[in-house]
Amino acid sequence: MDISVVIPLLNEEESLQELHDWIANVMQSNRYLYELIFIDDGSSDNSWHVIEQLAKENKSVKGIRFQKNYGKSQALDAGFEIAKGKVVITMDADLQDNPDEIPELFELITKENYDLISGWKKKRYDNVFTKNIPSKLFNSVARKTSGLKLHDFNCGLKAYKNEVIKSIKVCGEMHRYIPVLASNEGFTKIGEKVVQHQARKYGETKFGMNRFINGFLDLITISFLSKFGKRPMHFFGLWGTLMFLFGISLAFYIGVYKLYKVYNGIKTILVTDNPWFYIALTSMILGTLLFLAGFLGELIIQTKSEEKHYKIREKLNL
């Protein structure tokens, strides 16, 4: 199998037939062995019916239907799990990604040995104020935080070696940061290709302004997990120990100073009237809690089994 094309979708019945025909034409023209995996993320329209019809006409079409809407990350994760192609390409179902980019993406992975190629929609046809400007700001912060010099983290058109997608777990809303996840797993040859962006032909966008806020929060999560995800004690244990040592040292100082004044007959206040006593007590309590959080995190990592965060309702050709 040369290529697996993974397409997550939500209420895109109008575009599916056209997208399928376009991809199939590209594959046949280049004589690729391929599979086309549609993941219906809980659509409320006739998207699944269209996918069923496509699967009857073309055995290369496979489908997964979620019980409800779980999100793009979960849809991609389900597609990655079953993808068999040497190269895995993801794209959106709204016809804004151009299937004619597939051959060049395939060549970059197979002949130039890239682990991952991320699309860059350099010229966009979205609303300037609601999408273009926020997207540029978001990508600028993502570049500086992640260290990856990519212009468009949000682009759905990407290509991967199969071993890359089998090595990562996409959950929450982490689909924007698959290049970061791949880099954290040691896949460092990550490139970028300028791709054609097309105006939406049918329907309306499924993403609002909140995706940028969620994106920043997810970036913080990934940055933390990349450093401490496998060893939470290194973070929580360190800060817990420092806070506990600060608190107990302060408490010791308060006690010694109190005894010194009592021994020398110097008028002094009760320890419980000293505000520093409560700072010391709070520091010791927080230090202990942070240390326990790190310890519990280590136990969870050691005992946690792989869990799916979605429920599949139906499958086609699988």
DSSP, collapsed to helix, strand or coil, labels residue 117 as: strand
Confidence at residue 176, expressed as pLDDT on a 0 to 100 scale: 85
What proportion of the chain, given as a percentage, has pLDDT over 90? 56
Whether the Cβ atoms of residue 67 and residue 312 lie closer than 8 Å to each other: yes
pLDDT tier for residue 287 given thresholds of 50, 70 and 90 = very high
pLDDT tier for residue 45 given thresholds of 50, 70 and 90 = very high
pLDDT tens digits for 273-285? 889 999 999 999 9
List of residues 6+ apart from 305 with CB closer than 8 A:
none
What proportion of the chain, given as a percentage, has pLDDT over 70? 85
What CATH fold (topology level) applies to the domain 3-228? Answer: Spore Coat Polysaccharide Biosynthesis Protein SpsA; Chain A (3.90.550)
**Measured between alpha carbons, how far is 234 from 237 in angstroms, rounded to an integer?**
6
pLDDT tens digits for 176-186? 889 988 998 89
- Domain ranges within the chain, ordered by starting residue: 3-228, 233-303
pTM above 0.85, yes or no: no
DSSP, collapsed to helix, strand or coil, labels residue 256 as: helix
pLDDT tens digits for 56-105? 999 999 999 999 999 999 999 999 999 999 999 999 999 999 999 999 99
pLDDT tens digits for 139-150? 777 787 778 889
Whether the Cβ atoms of residue 186 and residue 130 lie closer than 8 Å to each other: no
| Radius of gyration of the CA atoms of the chain, in A | 26
Q: Which of 9-23, 112-126, 223-237, 300-314 has the largest mean confidence?
A: 9-23
